[in-house]
Chain A
């Protein structure tokens, strides 16, 4: 039995914990299992999960992306401005994603070519893109968007469209990581970059893949966020990077690289969204919620550290 428990992937524990939390919440408050709250959760989670999936890819190569929150805000504001100026919904969305991809290319170039540590590059990005978001929005919330902007996020196809979007992203990235050479090389590089290089793997290309995915998905999250809120605020998606990192790590990604799964990032995101939902429902002071979230992140990273040490000690 113990051996079986040890062999269960970390995702299963997170799933079990999340379900336990759901049960507890359903029991503790009549407002949890209502249709509006559940559908709210099904719209909130996908955006967090999409960001977490991207960040997880950078964590797998032993990197990090702290800029995703700011990139989501910047791209969201850019998207809103384009929509407001009648670029059309699809062209605006496409251009926004392209902007996200360029951000990723820039990050990868700074890390892989200039040799600046990912932490520093993306910390700078966190500041730069938040500033650009504020500039682009003129420091104010961008509203007055065409009605069709919000149709996507509000719409359902059986389940909320946002949920399907997350599922599509998750399947695509899972396929990439699990079944393709590129995916395998992400893990190889995060595990031992020198060994990967000696086997002829182009580690710069792999760096580009990871950071473009991260920024690209952050841009997608920005578009979806604007669609959900039907406004774009330059201060939105604040601290998304922390939630995304925490979600990925709770889901089994190691900050030392080489480990992490899409499923883990998604369940991690579900857990964190449930927790902030619970805080709202139970009337916990949002400032305390920040404190608790921060402590949880520290705990998770400590556990990651512990696991790594135990492994190398064996």
Chain B
């Protein structure tokens, strides 16, 4: 059996809807990946725990609330603490341009704003996982 990519799509924080996350989950599914979707209002602890138990190849975080500078570093810190330091983390949602360099510096593999096509996102996940494996 060929290895299937397993991706965790998670929404940390207090966003009110998850339409974007579902579109991404669906696109990754259609690209043949197995997507674990955990629903709205996850804490960083819940996300790290799910990433460990599910042994995913990458995590996609969706944040619309503006709390990304608090939530993303916390997720990365928890992943590191549990021995998953190199796990690719991709970010989508409403992320102001001025925050992007700092997030990339922290180790976020890719950042997507409104208007990104699903093809771009699928390609970025595939590339991030391949980069991680090599």
| Bound pair (A, B) | no
- Give B contacts to A, CB under 8 Å: none
- Give A contacts to B, CB under 8 Å: none
